[in-house]
């Protein structure tokens, strides 16, 4: 169980927040909340907090110094003028994360300063737990068991106004930023800065946070130089970073006070390749402004964007193009943890755009896209989490995500669709996948204690859905949450059921197939934990067949009174072993005809279903294609990260970095190369390669919890290396 943190420090707050009631923003999606409106004048609120202190030589020499800190909504930490880190991962006040950071490398004998830039966004969205009038900061500096420094009323603080909000964009997830260097507190992070005019910080008398140590590391934050800088005209530059990334654009300038610089960012260029598409197709407006002070100025926005290109326009004499760079941010990813290369160059490129999509879509949480929603979606995580565990060899982010969704049962036993954040959304299809994510994590980790901890949430989830069972056990009229089937709507293969919100009356296929898959998984958890139960699966399977199976066609109907056989209505019964043996052939033939008549999200389930019936050659055909619905099409359209849809114009607001499209990663490794854990935690490895005939060579290096797997294949010859002492089961 998670240990909660008790603090000797004070929770410091900016004065305007002191008397505000904290808003409770959690509710069922279809319910309204009777809360007072949040404060527009406190949105995009930037607050500096600092403390100067002394350290003697003994303390420095004794060992590591640890800083415990957190802030609401977010902080960026500087020690003695150097950037140290940022956080925390967003979370609910009842389970609020703090960071424990080794700050020894940044401290010195004598005078030191800790400076913290605290940000309260104030918008109700998927990206932050904000808009609730909760703001502040807490910190303690420790040497072993000795408390050296704590946040209290001796700290100095100031609200600053050099970063003004513009318009909101995405789904109210971010502001355009106008940085005014004339109002900058220049040098405020340095030890010798004069803060005598700043007020002493105010300490809250009471707080209702429950603090727990963040179980994941701080983000990697680093500089990246442009791949190309083109001078379009005097004072007008186009910068290309070579690939989409997440972070901030940064630069220096020195000009006249009041001169303005405009910065446009985007994922792609406008026709003609001379201007950035900053009014982005994904519904983001990446246009920021910078007003110069007359001194040497540094530019960097506070919040992050997803972009490849930047356009800068300002006074020619003031700009310093040699200073153009990006400050990249994402969850730490060791590039060597998973390296795959084959003789199929298109497949190498597909793997790379999927890897990049997962890299930049993994922040403090997984995000469905780092541009628009910036939210962690449960259904997306089925694919992103699976890919991330393979690509990174790091299971902590997946574990944290699973726990966060389980804990969302305090809002609804049926589990929320997007967590954390204060945007309440519920999608039945996604909820039913949560136990499957628990089991995938369990097979990768072998963490039985975590399985036990998550089990009550799984039972609560089942009980919630059971409320909508009719007499034969099928789910009917599930109006409690969205019934999604697939997204975008135009890629549902004409699924014949009214998927309005709330869903139309009746009983339909996909929600019931997922329900049976969920029941199967919860039963598997019960068996592992030694929980006795009555097996309802034979009855549920018979009811499903009676309701949806078209015996004449050997296919499944979309709904009880439909005659249509959508791809989605047949893939899931195949995946969950609901289909009669004689229907496997017709279903596979239908998939051969329809191919990916679905969204990128659902393609993962199509390929996993085909793997269940040993259709590996067909899977590779789908993976390596370049037709309209393929990863090859993304490459043809210039992808450097995997897209939200198969092509830029297949959805009205397509994001060009959407890691739910990373399905090729687990499919290639698990189903084509044939590596899976055959015992939890990779304590035994199953190896059953199904390489395509077109591969004359390939190599794979893969880190798993028990060690490193290395495979090499060259013209029929294998070289293999598995973790010592780990049995390998071959089929």
Q: At what angle do helices 537-548 and 567-575 cross, to 10 degrees?
A: 160
3-class DSSP state of 314: coil
Is the bond preceding residue 729 a cis peptide, omega within 30 degrees? no
Q: Could you give the CA distance from residue 702 to residue 700 in angstroms, rounded to a whole number?
A: 6
What's residue 5's pLDDT? Answer: 84
pLDDT per residue as tens digits for the range 553-590: 999 999 999 999 999 999 999 999 999 999 999 999 99
For residues 604 and 661, the answer to whether their CB atoms sit within 8 Å is no
* Least confident stretch, 191-195, 446-450, 670-674, 714-718: 714-718
Q: Could you give the CA distance from residue 364 to residue 376 in angstroms, rounded to a whole number?
A: 10
For residues 10 and 138, the answer to whether their CB atoms sit within 8 Å is yes
For residues 323 and 683, the answer to whether their CB atoms sit within 8 Å is no
What's residue 1's pLDDT? Answer: 57
- The pLDDT mean for the chain works out to 97
Q: Could you give the CA distance from residue 554 to residue 114 in angstroms, rounded to a whole number?
A: 69
Structure confidence at residue 34 as a pLDDT band (50, 70, 90): confident
3-class DSSP state of 142: strand
Is the bond preceding residue 488 a cis peptide, omega within 30 degrees? yes
pLDDT per residue as tens digits for the range 460-491: 999 999 999 999 999 999 999 999 999 999 99
For residues 555 and 509, the answer to whether their CB atoms sit within 8 Å is no
Q: Could you give the CA distance from residue 14 to residue 203 in angstroms, rounded to a whole number?
A: 9
What's residue 615's pLDDT? Answer: 98
DSSP secondary structure letter of residue 616? H
Structure confidence at residue 36 as a pLDDT band (50, 70, 90): low
Task: Look at the alpha carbons of 61, 63, 67, 68 in this order and tell me if their dihedral is positive or negative.
Answer: negative
β-bridge partners, 699: 341, 712
| Residue-by-residue DSSP string for 642-688 | --SSSSTTSSTT--S--GGG-THHHIIIIIIS-EEEEEGGGTEEEE-
Question: Rounded to the nearest 5 degrees, what angle is found at the Cα of 172, between the Cα atoms of 170 and 176?
Answer: 75
Token digits of residue 649: 């114009």
What's residue 32's pLDDT? Answer: 82
β-sheet with 675-679: strand ranges across: 675-679, 684-687, 727-730
What's residue 731's pLDDT? Answer: 81
pLDDT per residue as tens digits for the range 488-540: 999 999 999 999 999 999 999 999 999 999 999 999 999 999 999 999 999 99
pLDDT per residue as tens digits for the range 128-176: 999 999 999 999 999 988 999 999 999 999 999 999 999 999 999 999 9
In 283-342, DSSP assigns E strands to 287-291, 296-300, 305-313, 325-330, 338-342
Across the range 689-714, mean pLDDT stands at: 97
What's residue 47's pLDDT? Answer: 98
Residue 215 reports pLDDT greater than 80: yes
β-bridge partners, 183: none
Q: At what angle do helices 448-466 and 396-407 cross, to 10 degrees?
A: 40
What's residue 424's pLDDT? Answer: 96
Residue 339 reports pLDDT greater than 80: yes
Rg, the chain, Cα only:
27
pLDDT per residue as tens digits for the range 291-306: 999 999 999 999 999 9
Q: What is the largest CA-CA distance in the chain?
A: 84
3-class DSSP state of 421: coil
Q: Could you give the CA distance from residue 575 to residue 614 in angstroms, rounded to a whole number?
A: 12
For residues 458 and 526, the answer to whether their CB atoms sit within 8 Å is no
Q: Could you give the CA distance from residue 487 to residue 346 in angstroms, rounded to a whole number?
A: 26
For residues 458 and 403, the answer to whether their CB atoms sit within 8 Å is no
pLDDT per residue as tens digits for the range 371-411: 999 999 999 999 999 999 999 999 999 999 999 999 999 99
Query: How do 96-102 and 146-150 pair as beta strands?
Result: unpaired
| Chain centroid to CA 501 | 26
Find, among 623, 601, 717, the residue nearest to 672 by Cα.
623
Structure confidence at residue 39 as a pLDDT band (50, 70, 90): confident
For residues 578 and 544, the answer to whether their CB atoms sit within 8 Å is yes
Token digits of residue 367: 């995000």
For residues 605 and 597, the answer to whether their CB atoms sit within 8 Å is no
Q: At what angle do helices 378-392 and 345-360 cross, to 10 degrees?
A: 110
What's residue 4's pLDDT? Answer: 81
- Residue 197, class by beta-carbon neighbours within 10 Å (0-12 exposed, 13-18 middle, 19+ buried)? exposed
Q: Other C-beta atoms within 10 Å of 419: how many?
A: 28
What's residue 33's pLDDT? Answer: 76
Q: Which helix (H) or strand (E) holds 350?
A: helix 345-360
Residue 241 reports pLDDT greater than 90: yes
3-state percent breakdown (helix, strand, coil) of the chain, nearest 5: 30, 30, 40
For residues 57 and 134, the answer to whether their CB atoms sit within 8 Å is no
What's residue 38's pLDDT? Answer: 73
Q: Give helix then strand counts, H and E, for the chain.
A: 16, 33
- 577's CB contacts (< 8 A; 6+ apart) are 612
Residues of the chain with pLDDT > 90, as a percent, come to 96
pLDDT per residue as tens digits for the range 84-139: 999 999 999 999 999 999 999 999 999 999 999 999 999 999 999 999 999 999 99
Question: Rounded to the nearest 5 degrees, what angle is found at the Cα of 412, between the Cα atoms of 407 and 413?
Answer: 75
| Chain centroid to CA 89 | 11
Q: Could you give the CA distance from residue 390 to residue 384 in angstroms, rounded to a whole number?
A: 10
- Region of residue 583 (left: phi > 0; alpha: psi -120 to 50; beta: else): alpha
């Amino acid at each position: 169980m998670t240990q909660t943190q008790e603090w000797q420090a004070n929770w410091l707050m900016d004065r305007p927040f002191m008397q505000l009631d904290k808003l409770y923003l959690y509710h069922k999606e279809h319910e309204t909340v009777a809360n007072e409106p949040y404060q527009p004048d406190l949105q995009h609120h930037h607050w500096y907090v600092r403390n100067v202190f002394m350290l003697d030589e003994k303390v420095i020499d004794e060992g590591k110094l640890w800083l415990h800190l957190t802030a609401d909504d977010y902080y960026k930490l500087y020690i003695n003028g150097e950037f140290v880190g940022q956080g925390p991962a967003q979370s609910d006040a009842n389970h609020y994360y703090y960071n424990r950071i080794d700050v020894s490398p940044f401290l010195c004998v004598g005078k030191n300063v800790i400076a913290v830039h605290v940000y309260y966004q104030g918008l109700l969205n998927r990206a932050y737990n904000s808009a609730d009038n909760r703001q502040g900061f807490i910190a303690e500096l420790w040497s072993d068991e000795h408390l050296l420094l704590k946040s209290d009323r001796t700290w100095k603080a100031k609200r600053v106004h050099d970063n003004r909000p513009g318009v909101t964009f995405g789904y109210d997830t971010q502001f355009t930023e106008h940085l005014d260097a004339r109002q900058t507190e220049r040098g405020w992070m340095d030890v010798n800065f004069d803060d005598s005019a700043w007020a002493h910080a105010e300490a809250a008398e009471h707080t209702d946070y429950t603090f727990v140590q963040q179980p994941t590391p701080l983000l990697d934050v680093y500089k990246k130089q442009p791949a190309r800088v083109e001078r379009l005209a005097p004072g007008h530059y186009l910068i290309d970073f070579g690939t989409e990334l997440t972070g901030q654009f940064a630069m220096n300038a020195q000009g006249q006070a009041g001169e303005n610089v405009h910065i446009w960012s985007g994922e792609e260029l406008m026709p003609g390749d001379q201007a950035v598409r900053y009014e982005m197709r994904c519904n983001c407006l990446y246009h920021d402004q910078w007003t110069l002070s007359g001194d040497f100025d540094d530019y960097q926005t506070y919040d992050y964007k997803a972009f490849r290109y930047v356009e800068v326009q300002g006074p020619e004499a003031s700009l310093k193009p040699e200073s153009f760079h990006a400050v990249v941010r994402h969850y730490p990813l060791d590039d060597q943890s998973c390296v795959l290369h084959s003789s199929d160059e298109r497949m190498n490129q597909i793997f790379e755009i999927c890897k990049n999509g997962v890299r930049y879509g993994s922040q403090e949480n997984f995000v469905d896209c780092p541009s628009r929603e910036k939210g962690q979606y449960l259904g997306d995580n089925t694919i992103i989490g699976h890919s991330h565990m393979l690509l990174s060899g790091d299971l902590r982010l997946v574990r944290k995500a699973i726990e966060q969704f389980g804990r969302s049962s305090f809002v609804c036993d049926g589990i929320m669709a997007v967590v954390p954040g204060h945007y309440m959304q519920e999608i039945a299809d996604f909820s039913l996948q949560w136990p499957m994510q628990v089991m995938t994590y369990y097979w990768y980790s072998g963490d039985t204690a975590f399985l036990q901890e998550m089990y009550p949430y799984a039972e609560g989830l089942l009980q919630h859905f059971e409320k909508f069972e009719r007499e034969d056990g099928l789910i009917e009229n599930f109006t409690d949450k969205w019934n999604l089937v697939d997204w975008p709507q135009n890629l549902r293969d004409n699924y014949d059921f009214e998927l309005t919100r709330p869903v139309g009356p009746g009983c339909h296929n996909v929600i019931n197939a997922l329900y049976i898959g969920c029941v199967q998984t919860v039963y598997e958890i019960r068996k592992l934990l030694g929980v006795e139960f009555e097996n309802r699966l034979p009855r549920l399977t018979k009811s499903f067949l009676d309701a949806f199976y078209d015996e004449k066609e050997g296919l499944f109907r979309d709904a009880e009174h439909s005659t249509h056989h959508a791809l989605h209505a047949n893939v899931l019964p195949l995946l969950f072993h609901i289909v009669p043996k004689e229907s496997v052939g017709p279903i596979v033939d239908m998939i051969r005809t329809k191919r990916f008549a679905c969204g990128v999200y659902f393609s993962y389930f199509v390929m996993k279903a085909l793997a269940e019936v040993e259709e590996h050659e067909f899977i590779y055909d789908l993976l390596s294609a370049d037709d309209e619905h393929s990863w090859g099409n993304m490459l043809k359209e210039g992808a450097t990260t995997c897209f939200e849809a198969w092509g830029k114009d297949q959805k009205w607001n397509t994001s060009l970095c959407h890691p739910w499209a990373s399905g090729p990663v687990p499919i290639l490794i698990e189903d084509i190369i044939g590596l899976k854990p055959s015992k939890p935690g990779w304590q035994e490895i199953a190896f059953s390669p199904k390489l395509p005939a077109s591969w004359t060579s390939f190599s794979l290096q893969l880190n798993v919890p028990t060690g490193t797997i290395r495979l090499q294949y060259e013209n029929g010859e294998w070289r293999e290396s598995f973790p010592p002492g780990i049995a390998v089961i071959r089929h």
